[in-house]
Amino acid sequence: MAMTVTLRVWRQAGPAAPGRLETYTANNVHPDMSFLEMLDVVNEDLIKAGQDPIAFDSDCREGICGSCGLVIDGIPHGPDRGATTCQVHMRRFRNGDTITIEPFRARAFPVLKDLVVDRGAFDRIIAAGGYVSMNVGGAPDANALPIPKDVADRAMDNAQCIGCGACVAACKNAAAHLFTSAKIAHLGLLPQGEAERGRRVVQMVEQMDAEGFGSCSNEGECEAACPKEISIASIARMNRDYLKAALGK
């Protein structure tokens, strides 16, 4: 059965322009539509009416790439736990609902247009140390460096981070500690990344601070909003590693 919902959408022409919430009506919304498919239909109507469509990010629409990112009724990515915006379906809402849609808000994520933000700060954190250096040459045998299963599992749990920024949007301080710690942990837990463990954590944490992200107050909103449900235990590990490296121990 088709639904009709009212949308209150943040519209902003550019980074320096003032923003505002504008109201739209979405008609003939099927419950099996994804949230982004619903926005596509709204945009088609806006284009037909000669109006500027709502700008938002998306790519794979399978919860893999981390491109999509909307705050839906005050919740980054929307009401489904462990899901990205593109994985939210309209059956989570009721006919006649009013839905407020905003961009991820953080000083380090400036709004480019409407619901699109610049998450380049994450790229710069990765560039500061989110890699493993090695000499070129033939690839070593897969079993050349035995890794205990529990360690490999923890590394892969952190490697699931898709860099969407929901952790930042959920945090009252706009902290990027969950993202940064996940990127540090998934390399630092493995023997290939051990050699650069100290340098990596110092460079990435200092870049995170330079980007203007806030401090972590350890309240767990980031873990709750993370579509991959990455644990805040990674933040504690990052803090320990940073302290050891900064003190030269």
> Which of 175-212 are b and which e, b meaning 16 or more Cβ less than 10 Å from the residue's Cβ?
bbbbbbbbbbbbbbbbeebeebbbebbbbbbebbeebe
Summarize pLDDT for 85-103 with one digit per residue, the tens.
999 999 999 999 999 999 9
**Which residue ranges does the chain devote to CATH 3.10.20.30?**
3-113
Looking at residue 138, its pLDDT comes to 75
Looking at residue 188, its pLDDT comes to 93
**Which residue ranges does the chain devote to CATH 1.10.1060.10?**
119-246
CA distance 78 to 54: 18
Looking at residue 144, its pLDDT comes to 79
Summarize pLDDT for 137-163 with one digit per residue, the tens.
776 776 778 899 999 999 999 999 999
Q: Above pLDDT 70, what percent of the chain?
A: 98
- Residue 133: band (very low, low, confident or very high) from pLDDT cuts 50, 70, 90: confident
CATH class of the domain comprising 3-113: alpha beta
Instruction: Place domain 119-246 in its CATH homologous superfamily.
Output: Alpha-helical ferredoxin (1.10.1060.10)
97-120 average pLDDT score? 97
CA distances from 246 to 22, 202, 209 (A): 48, 7, 15
- Residue 248: band (very low, low, confident or very high) from pLDDT cuts 50, 70, 90: confident
